[in-house]
Structure 1
Amino acid sequence: MNKYEVTFNKVNKILEWFIIIIFGLLVLDVLFQVFSRYLLGTSFTWTEEFARFSLIWMTIIGAAYLNAKREHLSMDFLYQKLSLTNKRKASIVIEIFIFLFALIVMVIGGINLVYTTLHLDQLSGTLRIPLGYVYAVLPFSGFLIISFSVYHISKIYSNKNIC
Structure 2
Amino acid sequence: MLKEKIDIVLGRVLVVIMAVMVLNVLWQVFARFVLGSPSSFTDELARYLMIWVGVLGAAYISGKNMHVAIDLIPSKLNKNSQLRLKMIVSVIIILFCFFALFIGGGRLVYITYTLEQYSPALQIPLALVYLVIPISGALIIFYKVSDILNKQS
Q: Shorter-normalised TM-score: what interval?
A: over 0.9
Distance apart, 1:42 and its partner CA: 0.7
C-alpha distance in 2, partners of 1:69/1:129? 32
- Please name the residue that 1:131 is paired with: 126
- Please name the residue that 1:13 is paired with: 8
C-alpha distance in 2, partners of 1:16/1:77? 30
Q: What amino acid is the match of 1:129? A: I
C-alpha distance in 1, partners of 2:43/2:69? 32
In the superposition, the TM-score normalised over structure 2's length comes to 0.98
C-alpha distance in 1, partners of 2:151/2:71? 17
Q: Which runs of 5+ in 1 are unaligned?
A: 1-5, 159-163
- Alignment length, in residue pairs? 153
1:101 matched to 2:102? The reply is no
Distance apart, 1:78 and its partner CA: 1.5
1:156 matched to 2:148? The reply is no
Distance apart, 1:75 and its partner CA: 1.0
Measured against aligned partners, the alpha-carbon deviations of 1:102-158 in whole angstroms (never above 9, x if no partner) come to 100000000100000010010001000010011000111111111111100011111
- Residue 64 (structure 1) aligned to one of 38, 52, 59: 59
1:140 matched to 2:135? The reply is yes
In the superposition, the TM-score normalised over structure 1's length comes to 0.92
1:46 matched to 2:41? The reply is yes
Larger mean CA deviation between 76-85 and 99-108 belongs to 76-85
Percent same amino acid at aligned positions?
A: 37
Runs of 4+ more than 6 Å apart? none
Q: Which runs of 5+ in 2 are unaligned?
A: none
Q: What amino acid is the match of 1:102? A: C
